[in-house]
A and B are shown apart, each in its own frame.
Chain A
Amino acid sequence: MNDILVMLSFGPDGWGDQIAAGVYITVTLALASLPLGLATGLVLALAKKSAEPSLRAWADVYTTIFRGLPELLTLFLVYYGGQILIQEVLSVFGVTNFEVSAFFAGMIALSLVFSSYASEAFLSAFRGISQGQYEGAHALGLSKLQTLRLVILPQLIRLSLPALGNLWLILLKETSLVSIIGLNDIIRYSNMAARTTKEPFLFFSIACAIYLVLALISSVGISRLEKWTKRGEAPR
């Protein structure tokens, strides 16, 4: 029992500080991927509900690709493919020795996957907003952009939040894949600790427990956000 406490302590003998650093990386990666994924997802949803066939085709191809590929493969495609592509481009300018950071590749790959799922969440939320809302905004003399910003978006957030909350929880779990391309997240530090201390079950259980705690905190946060978006509704 004492051995376990030593192994988990914050200090030269324990893995506590490393695992804490891993938690920090996991959370920052998920948070960094979120805005890009949300913004792209919204653009995709707008493209999918547009009357213009070429915009719809673009968005459909995007979601077909990034929802169909395994996340791990998307990560490798971005990490290795991006590396090769950027090197080719930079070698024209005489720059060599450029490396795509694992964090950046992870962020891009996770946003690509997140945005293609988020677009579906936004799209079904758009369907929940009645035509009268657009007509009412038009009657008030709001421009198209104003309508979107002041009338549609607030309702869109409320309607899409449950689905987006689930996607956030999935995103949080998917960050674990970056450990494979060498980013020091929870899983990678647990792996190192497991190999060094020969206590794999202990450390992977702790990793799982940390993910559960992160999910729990997220669910609390999401339900608060949901309450906040519904503050305008009359209590029933």
Chain B
Amino acid sequence: MTNSVTNTALPDTAEPTNQKPEPPKKGWTFGRVVGNFLVTLWIIAGLGILYFLVVRNNVTINFNVAEGFPWVDLSADPKFLQRYGMKLLEGFWVTLQVVGVSVLLGALLSVPIAAMRMSNVKAFSVIAYAYVYFFRGTPMLAQVFLIYYGAGSFMHELRDMGLWSFFRDAWNCAIFAFTLNTAAYQAEIMRGSIQNMPKGQWEAASALGLPRWLTFWKIILPQALIVSLRPYGNEIILMIKGSAIVSIITILDLMGETRRAFSRTYDFQAYVWAAIMYLVMVETLRRIWNQLEARLTRHLQR
């Protein structure tokens, strides 16, 4: 739980070695045999999934060379996709909304938490630490249940305060729980990157006569944001993956639509499509993030 990664001897970068990498050996080494076998297994699995999708959607391919162009006659009867394809895409959009809204709200909430965590006032830092510890130490599923079902225990109190209509709604509860959760993680990212800035940066700025707030705003924060870019990207990916659990409290996100389609048809392709969509989502974000990082750190590259 504690940030044990930072205080160990694990170096961030590889030691510079002047040696050139060994040229790959020729012929069929043991590693090559195993590697090719394993890659073949992936290819077989991929083709198997493709075959499964083709069969389930009744795709037929007729080669009619005699009838001239286009020679191949493709026809399909994708009953599952006709009925549930649009639903899955709607779920995809809902997932993006859940993640987008809660990551943005969480970013706003994380600022005061990080500030409290770094505060010199003991009470503030203890409260913020307890908050972060709770949300990082318990499963997201338990947090969502605690808020969505747990709100029922305070029905009368919430009704008196006029908040009951908010907590009765699964969507609000999911966003609320996810916002609190990601705020804890984002606060830790922010705190880590700010506190890990070398002390020399503060000292140099102070030697130049810059006031502390200006130092923070113009020198520490921009550098900290660059350092925290990667963890922020990872956090968004974790949120995309974590958002699948909102389907448990009846929200029809991508996972929810998939589960519904599967429970109605017992057609396993529902899960295959969901897997493809999640992978596309995560990989796209990862690539965009890599581009963004390369762009923002171009002054650091040699």
Q: Which residues of A contact B (CB under 8 A)?
A: 47, 50-58, 61, 64-65, 67-73, 76-77, 80-81, 84, 124-125, 127-128, 130-131, 159, 162-163, 165-166, 169, 173-177, 179-180, 187, 190-191, 194, 198-202, 204-205, 207-208, 211-212, 215-216, 219, 222-223, 226
A-B contact pairs, 11 of them (CB 8 A): A47-B35, A52-B24, A52-B35, A73-B255, A127-B14, A163-B5, A173-B137, A177-B141, A190-B142, A211-B137, A211-B138
The answer to whether B137 touches A166, judged by C-beta atoms less than 8 angstroms apart, is: no
Interface residue from B2, B146, B245 paired with A72 (Cβ < 8 Å): B245
Nearest A residue to B34 via CB reads A55
Residues of A within 8 A of B283 (CB): 64, 68
**B20-35 vs A, Cβ < 8 Å mask (1 yes, 0 no):** 0110110001011011
CB pair A174–B139 under 8 Å, yes or no, is: yes
- Measured in the bound complex, the distance between the Cα atoms of B29 and A53 in whole Å is 12
Smallest Cβ-Cβ distance to B140: which chain A residue: A173
Query: When the two chains form their complex, are residues A176 and B141 in contact, meaning their CB atoms are under 8 A apart?
Result: yes
Contact of B153 among A55, A72, A199, A222 (CB under 8 A): A199
Query: How many residue pairs bridge A and B at CB < 8 Å?
Result: 179
Contact of B11 among A128, A173, A208 (CB under 8 A): A128
A160 nearest in chain B by CB position = B10
Chain B residue at minimum C-beta to C-beta distance from A65: B279
- Given A50-B31, A80-B271, A128-B10, answer yes or no on A173-B138 (Cβ-Cβ < 8 Å): yes
Across the interface, A70 reaches (CB within 8 A) one of B10, B133, B143, B278, namely: B278
Known contacts A200-B150, A211-B137, A54 near B241 by CB under 8 Å: no
B241 neighbours in A (Cβ, 8 Å): 68-71
- Is B112 part of the contact surface with A, judged by Cβ < 8 Å? no
CA distance A163 to B12 in the complex (A): 13
* Residue from the list B4, B34, B154 in contact with A223, Cβ < 8 A: B4
> A177–B245 contact, CB under 8 A?
yes
Q: How many Å lie between the Cα of A64 and that of B255 in the bound state?
A: 19
If A61-B42, A212-B134, A222-B4 touch, whether A70 touches B242 (CB-CB below 8 Å) is: yes
Q: Give min CB distance, B175 to chain A, whole Å.
A: 18
Whether a CB of chain A sits under 8 angstroms from the CB of B300 is no
